[in-house]
Amino acid sequence: MFSLSDPVSKLHGVGPRYLNYFEKLGIATLRDLLWHFPFRYEDFSHYKKIEELEDGEVTTIHAKVVNIKNKYIFPRRMYLTEAKLEDETGSISAVWFNQPYLTKNIPIDALISVSGKVSFKKKKKGFVSPAYEIINTSEYQNQTSKLRHTGRLIPVYPETAGLTSRALRYFIQPIINISDKLIDPLPLDLRKRHELLELKKALRQIHFPDTLEDAVLARERFLFEELFLVQLHLIKDKEKYKRLKAVKMDLDIPLIQNWVTQLPFKLTDAQRKVIWQIMHDLNSGRPMMRLLEGDVGSGKTLIAIASALLTVKSGYQAVFLVPTEILARQHFQTFSRLINGKIKMALLTASSSEIKEEELEGKVSKKVLLEKLSEGDPVIVIGTHALIQKQVEFGKLGLIMVDEQHRFGVEQRSALIEKNKEEKLTPHLLSMTATPIPRTLALAIYGDLEISILDEIPAGRQKIITEIVMFERQMEIFDFVKQEISKGRQAFIICPRIEPSEEQIDVPENLLSFQMQLEYEVKAVKKEFQKLKEGVFQDYNLAMLYGKMKASEKEKIMADFSQGSIDILIATSVVEVGIDIPNATVMIIEGSDHFGLAQLHQFRGRVGRGEHQSYCFLFSQIKNGQTQTRLQAMVNCHDGFKLAEEDLKIRGPGQFLGSRQSGFPDLAMASLKDISKVEAIKKEAKMILTQDPKLEKTPNLRERFLQFERDLKIN
């Protein structure tokens, strides 16, 4: 007998080795395992006799094992296992690579079910690396309905090295009966209105569906549930904040007017409008909860500076949380340059702590900085995740600004709010993103925030010339880079993403762990750097930049690049956000086929920030189809919001934001394309909370919701 709370170690066959694999997938309990859903299915439901098989078809046979043997192929350093299979109509071979243990697992004379793609070579029929399982001949008729790996729709799961979909099916099937005792948290009337499967049926059909239609219905049920829980969470959060009191900042219009007149450029109308909205929010006495969306180069940093100025002049602290140390230091320098007057500023990252004020300027010990923050000194603090460490406290926290909101997760902004020592007053919140977010995503993920949009580019910015470049023209573009360098300009080269290893090949990119993606990108950038340094750019100064480098190394490289001593920076997607090099005029994106439109647009935005004409070259190896259509959209369109809508249609929200970084449940991500569905679910959540704010009338839903909120905080 099993229960959902049992650890996976209770399963037969799960020892220390498998526990380590399960941990990599985030699976600790049987509940985690049952909610580890397939991302696709292999259709092995079609049975045929051997003589009926056709070349290239995917099908299933039941056959007797006549013989099975291993052969070592020396030139390729691999084992080949070949079995001869027979039924009453004929014979066929099946081969597997580097699985010599199969000669022990598959006994001669056994009846086995084999599923896979049939191949005809030199008039010989064969299966290559098929799925298989042994059928108990004494229970043949009953056994076929219980097949796990063949003869039906077969679930394929997110995997990790050492834990395949075959193993996951082996562990899931014995515990699927737990679902029979589960009480559905979704109320019956809600399920009827939206034609949702009951929980117990949905769990069975998502893992071992009778038909593909049943699998789709099961997935729809879980998509609905997660998005419904997200909306409950956002609505309750928003209601909670409405009841709170916040610092009432001074509506100091002359302060902002004076600051604006001293800037070396003019604000856009969009910037003026947003600053005015924020000034009224800060003066309202209620916590501001605003999301600022701005396309690449639209001037979001100026909005942050204006907001921080009002806060510090009112005697409170303003915090600016950013995703990387490079970006933190860049913002620290920009704020210092554009703020006139005696405003205290501080920088806090994992490797650096600095203060800029009249009495003290430069590096200080972290202890000194933390003491000043705790005492409530009015100061603008810019930093990374170091700002939400346990030892950090703010004496008079008035404003929290979060740059690239989607990189921090749903709950991390709350960690900063809780650090305010003035518990009676809630800090204002300004979330910012340079990734234009389509209305569907904004509605679903940031439903608790008011939204402001910067949809103008500052005057004087030239449009970046964008071009798709096929393989045969790459040397021509490299020559063009040399010409630009001869004029004193600089260039970025974004290295291509490399494919996962064979053991990860069945896992879609958005389901890979963030850490694994970083490792793949590091390998790619090192390989590309070596090739270009020893080849076409051997006479130039090259440097490479990737996320796993030490902060001090990254800072030195960016300082050198900014000062012009590096001609070409070869980097991973670490340059996607915020890096500002006005002298860089060329952006080359190798392997552009592997990136989404939103990310390509972010890369392009790293150039064109100065007075010189800039260029973006999209290297591609695919000449037609959807990839070319997508890249052509980059050539034709420079509006990040339009590109974001297109990206959402093509790739889906999981890859658009990066599921593992968004703090948003993976399944709910998949449902965000359908705005009508999102709005319907939000309406249901509002209705149920209006009638029953504490969910007391639906105890099962209340219990599930509380578990959902606990999981959000853990992740």
Two structure tokens written together for 324 = 């990387």
Same fold yes or no, 253-454 and 465-662: yes
Which residues are registered as beta bridge partners of 571? 494, 545
CATH topology of domain 253-454: Rossmann fold (3.40.50)
∠ at Cα 575 (570, 576), nearest 5°?
130
162's tokens: 């050492």
pLDDT of 503 reads 34
Could you give the CA distance from residue 476 to residue 474 in angstroms, rounded to a whole number? 5
Look at 509 and 243; give whichever has higher pLDDT. 243
> What count of other Cβ atoms lies within 10 Å of the Cβ of residue 609?
19
pLDDT of 587-618, one tens digit each?
A: 999 888 878 787 888 889 888 888 899 999 99
Q: 650: closest CA among 668, 627, 671, 632?
A: 627
Span 262-277, mean pLDDT? 91
Give pLDDT, residue 31: 92
Tokens of 60: 């299933």
Q: What is the pLDDT of residues 357-402, one digit of tens each?
A: 765 566 778 888 889 899 988 999 999 888 888 888 899 999 999 8
Quick one: pLDDT band at residue 143, thresholds 50, 70, 90? low
- CB of 408 closer than 8 Å to CB of 431: no
Query: Domain 1-41+161-181 classified CATH 1.10.150?
Result: yes
Structure tokens at 578: 């915020």
Mean pLDDT of the chain: 83
Distances (CA, A) of 66 to 61, 82, 112, 125: 15, 11, 11, 15
Contact 119, 30 (CB under 8 A): no
Long-range contacts, 161-165 (Cβ 8 Å, 24+): 161/21, 161/501, 161/503, 161/504, 162/17, 162/18, 162/20, 162/21, 162/503, 163/18, 163/21, 163/22, 163/24, 163/25, 165/38, 165/506
pLDDT value of position 510? 38
- If you write DSSP's letter for every residue of 550-575 in order, what string do you get? -HHHHHHHHHHHHHT--SEEEE-GGG
Q: How far apart are CA 373 and CA 383, in angstroms?
A: 13
Range scoring the smallest mean pLDDT among 135-139, 167-171, 557-561: 135-139
Quote the pLDDT of residue 446. Answer: 65
Higher pLDDT, 319 or 522: 319
Burial label, 582 (beta-carbon count in 10 A; 0-12, 13-18, 19+):
middle
| Cα separation, 116 vs 43, whole angstroms | 9
The fourth-level CATH superfamily of domain 465-662 is: P-loop containing nucleotide triphosphate hydrolases (3.40.50.300)
User: Which run of H or of E encompasses 83?
Assistant: strand 78-87
| Strand 111-121 relative to strand 131-135, pairing | antiparallel
Domain ranges of the chain: 1-41+161-181, 46-151, 185-243+674-715, 253-454, 465-662
Q: What helix, strand, coil percent values describe the chain, rounded to 5?
A: 45, 20, 35
Instruction: Work out the average pLDDT over 210-218.
Output: 90
What pLDDT digit, counting tens, does each position of 467-506 carry?
A: 999 988 999 999 999 999 999 999 999 986 544 333 333 3
- Does this model's pTM top 0.75? My answer is no
Q: Tell me if 374 sits within 8 A of 394, measured CB to CB.
A: yes
Q: Please state, as a whole number, how many other Cβ atoms lie within 10 Å of the Cβ of residue 69.
A: 12
Provide mean pLDDT across the span 536-562: 86
Confidence of residue 653 (pLDDT cuts 50, 70, 90): very low
**For range 540-551, the mean pLDDT:** 85
d(Cα 618, Cα 620) in Å, to the nearest integer?
6
Instruction: Spell out the residues 6+ positions from residue 350 whose beta carbon is closer than 8 angstroms to its own.
Output: 325, 384, 385, 386, 551
The rounded distance, in Å, linking the Cα atoms of 685 and 184 is 17
- What's the DSSP call for residue 472? G
Mean pLDDT score, 231-245: 83
Scan for tokens 């359908």, then name that residue. Answer: 674
Mode of pairing for the β-strands spanning 78-87 and 90-97:
antiparallel
Superfamily of domain 46-151: Nucleic acid-binding proteins (2.40.50.140)
